[in-house]
Structure 1
Amino acid sequence: MSRKRQYDESRSDNPLRRGVPLNSQACELVRRTREFYEREREFVRLHGRPSVPADQVVERTSQTLGLSKRTVVQKGVLLQELKEKWTGEPSSGGNKAESGDLFLSTPGKKRFKPSPVTGIDSFQADAIRRHVYDYYSRKEYPVVAKLLVSLKQKNLFSGGKTSLKSVLRALGFRYKKLNGRKLLLEKSHIVMARSIFLNKLVGKDLHEVIWLDETWVNAGECIDKSWTDDSPKSSGNQPTGKGARLIIAHAGSSSGFVEGGLLMFRSKKTGDYHEDMDHVRFLDWFKKLLQQLKGPSVIVMDNAPYHSVIMDKTPTSSARKELLVEWLQARNIPAHMGMTKLALYALVKQNKPVSPTYVVDEVAKEQGHEVVRLPPYHCHFNPIELVWSDVKRYVRTNNKSFTITEVERLFREGIALVDAASWRKKVGHVATLINSAMAIDGIISDCPDAKCESILNHPNRIFNADEAAFFLNPKGSKVLFAKGERNVYSVVNTDEKECLTVLLNAYAEGKIAPPMVLYAYERIPSDVSESVPEDWAIGRSSNGWMTCETFFEYVTNVFHPWLLKEKIPLPILFFVDGHKSHMSLHLSKFCEDNGIILVALFPNATHLIQPMDIAVFRILKSAWREKNNEF
């Protein structure tokens, strides 16, 4: 059989087939060719011969297309090589292969090519994420070179360095310099969401938790791989399309699926299945589900939009002025239409809740239940995902007619086959992952005993202390100068850097423990000591900064006696940053002997995880600057 291609104008790889528009270069060559033959016709009429002899092929082609002879020769050589490749015949003058049988590609043209290496599914993504976490649990640094080798050894990834970097970025990791080393770190909002999730589950029996989720299945769900010799007898009857779609919602625990908790309906849209499950439909089903639960439960769900509709949403800066006034007046905050919109929105920002209140959470709370939300990209923390995998496998294996009615029947059968033993196995697997994540994130690893689990459930036993400098002569953000001046100067006082160090100590109930003001005095003047409130502490150091001795005196002489006075149960958790003034040996021994569990926060992360930095000092310093300017 000859290897020679047969020319066909309808072939998809023919760039000149009918219906395909010509690009600008091809149109220009067509114009040049037509103009050449019009000139040639006139030349033949006048002289009786062509301007360029017909046997001078290169010259004639060059004149026709307006290209150099060198370009014509190069393309001709390339065409001859392609002829030999496809026809198997040597290049010669008698070769009858037509140039129309062969196509030349554009040099250097970039063509889209889908990458099967980076196109991983959710389960592969979770496996890679857990593999990265394993490095941290072994106290190793996960860099791309190491990850590439270990992932290939476990058959989790088959691409190269560039593809692996793309996958890691898609999973929320980033390559960041930290403490002189470059480490692979997650984005801050993912770390924060996971920390909140894990803390809410500390001390909870995960086998009693209700795990909730939605999924979908198509009428064309079938096995896509099988042993075949490509003959008609071993070819399946798989459908060419996905077909109609079913949307399913359910919940379960180690005892099995919640009885009467199945929601199943047919989709009317072709996009993402989340488009069909809106908040009204979900809330109606969720209320019915709560009635099926036997007692107060912890319900875990993801952050889908229909799960996260906010109750009494705080208006944004683009909201109408009337809405801002209405929102403020509903909270008994003085506001009226005569105020500017900027002033109204400033009041909104000052009084908006720290965290949003979700409609679903309040509905569950009214019936004694608690909703806990999964962090982003952590579907492996939900065992119902593994249950859906088993049920869909049953549907794919037994689907023969590929109708939506048949798939609905098979899905119900698959759900019935998942018993309590299967649920317990999957919840146990997830419990192992969650406990491992708790150890990696340091949720309970720094606690000396199991009492820490109970402490985290009592807000009056969780404390955080931190210091901040308050400048007595803060700089202004603007200066006044004459229009047209090229050099602008700011006149400052010699004491512009003079400041006070203030230590604030608060606990999770939202209350303040006795604070301390630190002065740069060898001896505190009497007028200063008399001006400080009675329940405040006064400290001193040579430069006005916190020292080991000053912090030790605060804990031993102020904080600990206050704990005993307020009858706060010991032990308590006392979170501080890792500054050397907080980490002295004599302080650690005192805390160990007196029921104070001293926990140092992660370095270079206090701006994200320390409550004082996030919620207190920023607002307090803003008010301090305003009062200083008024003074």
Structure 2
Amino acid sequence: MDYNIEVIIKEEPSSSDECLRELVPKKRAKRTPLTVNEKQIIVNLYKYLEQSSPQNERNKMRLHTKTADILNIGTASVYRILREHARNEMKAPLETKKRPLFSEKISEIEKSALRKKVYSFFENDQLPTGKKIMQAVNDDDSLPTFRRTTFQKTMKHLRFKYVRINAKNAMIDKDELVIWRRNYLIKIMQYRNEKRPIFYLDEGWINVEEAQKSKSSTAKNNKKDIKRINIVHIGNENGFLPDAAEIFEPNTKNYGDPMTAGHFECWFENTVKKLGDNAVVVLDDAPHHSRRIDKLPTSNWTKASIQEWLLKRDIQFTDDDVKAQLLDKVCKLNLERRTYAVDEIAKKYKVEVLRLPPFHYDLNPMASVLSEITEQVMKNKFDTLDKAHNCLKNAVDKFPDEKWARHVERAKEEEVYYYKINDIIDNVVDKYITLNPGSDTSDDGSGSNSDDD
């Protein structure tokens, strides 16, 4: 609701309010709390109407209604804001936390367990249907209990799809995830055979407010300071890279992605130069790890601008190509030539970046190392961020190298498991297709809600 205060105040009086209505949206797209600037606009408009109206029409109730009608807001809101202004109490709305989705409440460990629950059916030579998997998950006390709709959404979030085999909807990984994981496993095994040093990178955090259990008055007074501490670090089977930890308090409410791309890239460049030539860095596909260097054309670009963009990259097109065809060429090029800022930084120091497939926590030993450390730190009690920061730093410094080696070995075992599982899935699916060669076998990527057994 970014109204132009100057335009509203300086508009010449008119017998009609149509000119004022044109200055504001027909209706607010979303009913969010009004900011201080928006409240001031309402006050300014009310004062303008009061000054420009004839003396006999300066009825407060009528002016409230007129202001509300022009701005398409409630009369009660106008009255409340004018009262706040008179008392000098106009304040910004309180920040509200975004309600997390159910899939965001599930830990990475639980997501890996859900994936393996699907695979367990194939290992037992069965086709996993949604109903069977949900029942198996709900019977497992170590996993959350799901309702049907939430379960379907969660599995779709984890990149599963349904395929129709023998009149049953079998759940399997989406093709793009299978390809991503397969390519990752082939590359990391190749790098190990080449004896290249492989470093794992990840981020963790501790909720200081949750860890703080003291009921003392000091703790209550400092409640506003009790927030969250994040850490980003890198290491391998020999332990953490010395002096590489970045421990910080996020300056954003978006705790799901607490680092900006600029913050991460600065830390990454200072770190990657210490790894030496020919090293490999394994990281996930978090948004701040994946900032694109090349800005891609969108439908908001003009046709001429898209053509110019393609010409600079020697991409062929014809004058007869419509905008949609040009954007299709951009899309194909995007898949072939993705360029990330982090990858370019790594190339400067002759280091390779290898991205983990999504939702494969168990392939990254750094994730399990940081999980163990933060779980240990959360057993402590804090009343200040400094104490939490120092406790986390000490836990990292004292983490044994031999534990690191065990986590790496466990990740290698997971690599072997994931490398074999898709061959098992293919064999089971082919077996059921062969049993009924004339049956319907098709993709149902929409995530069918069928309860086929």
TM-score, L = length of structure 2? 0.61
Matched letter for residue 140 of structure 1: Q
> Using the alignment, how far apart are the partners of 2:274 and 2:245 within structure 1?
11
> Using the alignment, how far apart are the partners of 1:116 and 1:337 within structure 2?
48
Paired residue for 1:424?
Answer: 405
1:246 is the counterpart of 2:229: yes
Paired residue for 2:211?
Answer: 222
1:192 is the counterpart of 2:174: no
User: Relative to structure 1, is the Cα distance of residues 357 and 166 closer, same or farther in structure 2, using a 3 angstrom cutoff?
Assistant: closer
1:585-623 Cα distance to aligned partner (Å, 9 max, x none): xxxxxxxxxxxxxxxxxx978xxxxxxxxxxxxxxxxxx
Please tell me whether the aligned partners of residues 211 and 253 of structure 1 are also in contact (alpha carbons under 8 angstroms): yes
Paired residue for 2:241?
Answer: 258
> Using the alignment, how far apart are the partners of 1:341 and 1:350 within structure 2?
14
Paired residue for 1:173?
Answer: 160
Determine which of 391, 414, 418 is the counterpart of 1:433: 414
Please tell me whether the aligned partners of residues 184 and 355 of structure 2 are also in contact (alpha carbons under 8 angstroms): yes
Q: Secondary structure at the match of 2:379?
A: helix
1:130 is the counterpart of 2:139: no
Paired residue for 1:576?
Answer: none
Determine which of 384, 387, 395 is the counterpart of 2:366: 384
Paired residue for 2:384?
Answer: 403
Residue 256 (structure 1) shift: 0.6
Please tell me whether the aligned partners of residues 206 and 378 of structure 2 are also in contact (alpha carbons under 8 angstroms): no
1:297 is the counterpart of 2:297: no
Residue 347 (structure 1) shift: 6.3
> Using the alignment, how far apart are the partners of 2:101 and 2:329 within structure 1?
50
Pairs within 5 Å for 1:446-525: none
Pairs within 5 Å for 1:307-456: 307-332=289-314, 345=327, 348=330, 354-400=336-382, 402-442=383-423
User: Relative to structure 1, is the Cα distance of residues 434 and 244 closer, same or farther in structure 2, using a 3 angstrom cutoff?
Assistant: same
User: Relative to structure 1, is the Cα distance of residues 147 and 317 closer, same or farther in structure 2, using a 3 angstrom cutoff?
Assistant: closer
- Tell me which of the two structures has the higher relative contact order, counting C-alpha pairs closer than 8 angstroms and 6 or more residues apart: 2
User: Relative to structure 1, is the Cα distance of residues 223 and 378 closer, same or farther in structure 2, using a 3 angstrom cutoff?
Assistant: farther
Matched letter for residue 432 of structure 1: E
> Using the alignment, how far apart are the partners of 1:424 and 1:334 within structure 2?
51
Q: Secondary structure at the match of 1:398?
A: coil
Residue 175 (structure 1) shift: 3.7
> Using the alignment, how far apart are the partners of 1:349 and 1:154 within structure 2?
42
Please tell me whether the aligned partners of residues 203 and 370 of structure 2 are also in contact (alpha carbons under 8 angstroms): no
> Using the alignment, how far apart are the partners of 1:172 and 1:154 within structure 2?
22
Matched letter for residue 117 of structure 2: H
Task: Show structure 1 runs of 5+ residues with no match.
Answer: 1-113, 227-231, 447-579, 581-602, 606-631
Matched letter for residue 240 of structure 2: F
Please tell me whether the aligned partners of residues 217 and 247 of structure 1 are also in contact (alpha carbons under 8 angstroms): yes
Paired residue for 1:87?
Answer: none
Residue 340 (structure 1) shift: 7.1
Please tell me whether the aligned partners of residues 197 and 278 of structure 2 are also in contact (alpha carbons under 8 angstroms): no
Matched letter for residue 269 of structure 1: T
> Using the alignment, how far apart are the partners of 1:188 and 1:158 within structure 2?
27
Paired residue for 1:211?
Answer: 200
Paired residue for 1:182?
Answer: 169
Matched letter for residue 143 of structure 1: T
Paired residue for 2:107?
Answer: 121
Task: Show structure 2 runs of 5+ residues with no match.
Answer: 1-99, 428-433, 435-440, 444-453
Determine which of 237, 250, 274 is the counterpart of 1:267: 250
> Using the alignment, how far apart are the partners of 2:163 and 2:329 within structure 1?
37
Paired residue for 2:263?
Answer: 281
Q: Secondary structure at the match of 2:176?
A: helix
User: Relative to structure 1, is the Cα distance of residues 333 and 252 closer, same or farther in structure 2, using a 3 angstrom cutoff?
Assistant: closer
Q: Secondary structure at the match of 1:252?
A: strand
Q: Secondary structure at the match of 1:393?
A: helix
Please tell me whether the aligned partners of residues 325 and 337 of structure 1 are also in contact (alpha carbons under 8 angstroms): no
User: Relative to structure 1, is the Cα distance of residues 352 and 126 closer, same or farther in structure 2, using a 3 angstrom cutoff?
Assistant: closer
Q: Secondary structure at the match of 1:292?
A: coil
1:201 is the counterpart of 2:201: no
User: Relative to structure 1, is the Cα distance of residues 337 and 247 closer, same or farther in structure 2, using a 3 angstrom cutoff?
Assistant: farther
Matched letter for residue 399 of structure 1: K
> Using the alignment, how far apart are the partners of 2:110 and 2:334 within structure 1?
40
Residue 434 (structure 1) shift: 1.6
Please tell me whether the aligned partners of residues 175 and 183 of structure 1 are also in contact (alpha carbons under 8 angstroms): yes
1:103-152 Cα distance to aligned partner (Å, 9 max, x none): xxxxxxxxxxx999995333222222222222223332223454356445
- Structure with larger Rg: 1
User: Relative to structure 1, is the Cα distance of residues 221 and 414 closer, same or farther in structure 2, using a 3 angstrom cutoff?
Assistant: farther
Residue 303 (structure 1) shift: 0.9
Residue 424 (structure 1) shift: 1.0
Matched letter for residue 405 of structure 1: D
* Structure 1 or 2: more helix by fraction: 2
> Using the alignment, how far apart are the partners of 2:137 and 2:320 within structure 1?
64
> Using the alignment, how far apart are the partners of 1:280 and 1:241 within structure 2?
27
> Using the alignment, how far apart are the partners of 2:147 and 2:315 within structure 1?
56
> Using the alignment, how far apart are the partners of 1:156 and 1:117 within structure 2?
16
User: Relative to structure 1, is the Cα distance of residues 201 and 242 closer, same or farther in structure 2, using a 3 angstrom cutoff?
Assistant: farther
Please tell me whether the aligned partners of residues 279 and 351 of structure 2 are also in contact (alpha carbons under 8 angstroms): yes
TM-score, L = length of structure 1? 0.45
Identity of paired residues, percent?
25
Residue 326 (structure 1) shift: 3.4
Residue 421 (structure 1) shift: 0.7
1:480-522 Cα distance to aligned partner (Å, 9 max, x none): xxxxxxxxxxxxxxxxxxxxxxxxxxxxxxxxxxxxxxxxxxx
Residue 177 (structure 1) shift: 1.1
> Using the alignment, how far apart are the partners of 2:202 and 2:231 within structure 1?
9
1:436-478 Cα distance to aligned partner (Å, 9 max, x none): 01001239x99xxxxxxxxxxxxxxxxxxxxxxxxxxxxxxxx
